[in-house]
């Protein structure tokens, strides 16, 4: 079964910490051990895991991506969001996290970020939990 987590972004480019939402969904599923797959079904938004403790880290990542793929830099794609597509490919569309003792096994400073590159929009994250047989 796939659970859908709805994410509402409020600006064009934004990293939204969804760790709490994923943990809540994991608790509801009641799985103690396994793998949590998170997949973003969009072409201008992605997902990544990085530092959640210091908010300047996500700001620096967004600014670095803007330097790699600046807005309106003479792209072929005529929709005006070619930079959003490129940034999405750079961060990727999925992450996998191990589950032990009913909890996500993340590093001390890690958070799961939904990465908006063409907001504001209402978006989806697909979540699938694979239970490990004991």
Interface stretch with Zn ion, choices 8-16, 33-41, 61-69, 75-83 (CB under 5 A):
75-83
Can residue 132 be called a binding residue for Zn ion (CB under 5 A)?
A: no
Name the minimum Å distance from CB 94 to Zn ion. Answer: 20
Burial class (CB in 10 A: 0-12, 13-18, 19+), 15: buried
CB atoms within 10 A of CB 18: 20
Answer for which of 81, 88, 93, 111 binds Zn ion (CB under 5 A) is 81
Can residue 111 be called a binding residue for Zn ion (CB under 5 A)?
A: no
Residues 118 and 80 sit within 8 Å (Cβ to Cβ): no
Closest CA to 113 of 15, 11, 4: 15
Can residue 88 be called a binding residue for Zn ion (CB under 5 A)?
A: no
Binding site residues, Zn ion, CB under 5 A: 79, 81
């Amino acid at each position: 079964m796939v659970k859908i987590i709805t994410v509402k972004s409020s600006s064009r480019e934004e990293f939204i910490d969804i760790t709490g939402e994923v943990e809540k969904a994991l608790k509801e599923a009641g799985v103690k051990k396994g793998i949590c797959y998170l997949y973003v079904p969009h072409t201008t938004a992605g997902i990544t895991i990085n530092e959640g403790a210091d908010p300047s880290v996500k700001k620096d990542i967004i600014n670095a991506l803007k330097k790699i793929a600046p807005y309106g830099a003479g792209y072929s794609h005529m929709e005006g969001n070619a930079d959003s597509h490129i940034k999405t490919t750079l961060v990727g569309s999925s992450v996998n996290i191990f589950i032990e003792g009913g909890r996500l096994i993340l590093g001390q400073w890690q958070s799961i970020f939904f990465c908006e590159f063409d907001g504001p929009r209402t978006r989806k994250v697909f979540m699938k939990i694979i239970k490990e047989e004991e």
